[in-house]
Each structure stands twice: as C-alpha cells, then as structure tokens.
Amino acid sequence: MHRRTLLLLGSVLLAATVLTGCGGSSSPSFPTIGAAKTYEVADFTPTVIPTAGKPTTVSFGIQQPDGTLMTKFKKGPGPHTGVHLIFVRSDLGYLIHLHPPVGADGKLSIPVTFPAPGKYRVVIDVYPADATIQPNFQLFRTITVRGAYSPMALPAPGGTVTVSGYRFAMSITGNLKAIQAGYLKITVTAPDGKPAAIQPWLGALAHAIFFRKGSLDYFHTHVCAPGAQGCTSILGGANVTGKQTTPGVLDVGVLVPAGGTWRLFLQCQINGRVLTVPFTIPVAS
Ligand SMILES: [Cu+2]
C-alpha cells in the first residue's frame, strides 16, 4: 500500500521535473537533483506547425537520467507494452492512439494525420523493460495544428453512441468516484442486431482512454480476454481490470485521479476495423 503510494508519487515526479529532494531534503548534505535526473522527451518533431489532413511525422526518444535514450521497453502479450502515443484535442473532440515502432537506437517515429485544427495534448505513455523503474510513466507535449479552431461541446453523459453501424449502449453501474475503481457496462450490438464479435487489438479486447475536461488529466484501462495477463491498471492503492461478461458486453474499468467531467474514448476492433467510441462520464471528487 505504502509502496504503491510511492510509485504513484514517483510517476507524478517523473511527469514533472524533479527539483526538490523528495522527502530527504532535510539533510544538509543531500545533493541537488537537477532536471537531468529525470526521464524526458528528446528530439521531438514536428518542429513546424502541422496542417490538418496531411500526414506529419512525429518522432522522439525517451531520454533517461544518464542522458542516453531508452532502447528496451516492456514486451509481451498484454496491452501494457512499448510506448503508447496518444493525441487528444483540447476540447476532447478528437483522439488518436498509436503504438510507434522503436528503432534500435531508441528513436520512435510514426506518421500522424491530424483530423482538424486546434491544440492537442500529446501523451507519451512509456512501459520500460526494467519494471523496477516503475510499470509505466507519462511524458507530455503539446502540438498546435494550423487553421481555425472550432471547439465542440461535450454531449450529455452516458447514452448510446453508434459508430460504423455498431451500437454502443453505456450504463454506469454504481457511483464513479476519483481514485476508486468503478465500472461501466457497455453493450455492443452489430448492425444485424446480434452481439458484436470483438477481436483482440494491441493485446486487449478494448482500450479505455480517459481524459478530464479542462485539465486533460489522463488514465487508461483495458478489457481483456479471459485469462489474459497484464491487464490490470493501478492508481494509488486501487486497481481495476475490465472483462467481457458475455459476447458483446464489456465491463469497462474506470479509475481516474480526480473528480470532474471525463471523456472516455473506448477503442476496440470489430470486423478488422478499429472503432473509437466517445462517451461523457461524470466522476465525483
Ligand atoms: Cu490500451
């Protein structure tokens, strides 16, 4: 429990810059920890403003405290592997989720086509091979895409969303509260009225990516096939694991760091196509 708290604290410090001596600073001989002791994004591109609808190469490396680029990332069958690259527009109107390939030199590079103008938060979710560092941590960037930005209002919470003819009906089971595990039930129906056959994609049956309105805080949970490993998401002392109870019925884990209005982007593969399905959910503080 205490250890998990430390891990969470560690991720917060990694995401920011470590300037203070985490609790040990009362010792007068404690060395000053400079910014170079943190994990950072290195050589991030694009350095020019991208245009919506045209591919832009996004590339970067993960600089380690010793100054070298990280080259070894977690591997395996589950979803918690490699580097997840996520772009979300500031109004939560658009989401892009990619897993860029890692070069032998630790450089990651992938073409991205932004759908519309505006400011996007870039989340780089890193799963190091050396899990003693910590299971994962996030680094952030911002990209502004050229053109006139017209923000979209978020739809009302819950409800039914239809994407490519597939109907996703969501109901909130119980109360959703910050830093507590909760669940949403999402029933997926195919255009013919039958339960949708959901296929594994990137190590999970469904990926649930959460962003908080305004602050753009981030969390990510998964729904895995029965018996799949490495599907649990941890936040502080809580953890959550989603499951498919019957074909087409997903129990999606919700575990977020703060109350507020959140946008859930559910992603799953059906019939060889990845569908991104957005919902609005209220979370109590
Ligand atoms: Cu995922």
87-97 per-position pLDDT tens digit: 999 999 999 99
What's the fold here for domain 36-145? Immunoglobulin-like (2.60.40)
Give the per-residue pLDDT at 20.
26
Ligand 1 centroid–CA 97 distance in Å is 8
Ligand 1 centroid–CA 148 distance in Å is 31
Ligand 1 centroid–CA 219 distance in Å is 10
Segments making up each domain of the chain, as ranges:
36-145, 159-283
Contact by Cβ (8 Å): 214, 201: no
Ligand 1 centroid–CA 220 distance in Å is 6
Q: Over the stretch 219-247, which tens digit does the pLDDT of each residue have?
A: 999 998 877 777 888 888 888 888 898 99
CA 89-93-94 angle, to 5 degrees, is 65
Taking the C-alpha atoms of residue 103 and residue 46, their distance in angstroms, rounded to an integer, is 18
Ligand 1 centroid–CA 27 distance in Å is 41
Ligand 1 centroid–CA 90 distance in Å is 20
pTM: 0.83
pLDDT classification of 6: cutoffs 50, 70, 90: very low
Ligand 1 centroid–CA 206 distance in Å is 7
Task: Answer yes or no: CATH 2.60.40.1930 is held by domain 159-283.
Answer: yes
**DSSP E strand stretches across the chain:** 40-45, 55-63, 83-89, 95-98, 107-113, 118-126, 137-145, 159-163, 166-173, 182-189, 198-199, 206-212, 218-224, 233-235, 238-240, 242-246, 249-254, 260-270, 273-283
Q: Over the stretch 17-32, which tens digit does the pLDDT of each residue have?
A: 322 222 222 334 444 5
In this chain, the answer to whether the domains covering 36-145 and 159-283 adopt an identical fold is: yes
Instruction: Count CB-CB contacts under 10 A for residue 240.
Output: 22
Helix (H, G, I), strand (E, B) or coil at 206: strand
Q: Is the dihedral of CA 168, 116, 136, 204 positive or negative?
A: positive
Ligand 1 centroid–CA 30 distance in Å is 39
* Closest alpha carbon to 161 in 284, 275, 245, 256: 275
Ligand 1 centroid–CA 150 distance in Å is 28
pLDDT classification of 281: cutoffs 50, 70, 90: very high
* pLDDT, averaged across the chain: 86
Taking the C-alpha atoms of residue 153 and residue 210, their distance in angstroms, rounded to an integer, is 17
Ligand 1 centroid–CA 252 distance in Å is 12
Ligand 1 centroid–CA 141 distance in Å is 19
> 63-73 as b/e, with b when 16 or more CB fall inside 10 Å?
bbeeeebbeeb
Residue 162 is which amino acid? T
Ligand 1 centroid–CA 177 distance in Å is 21
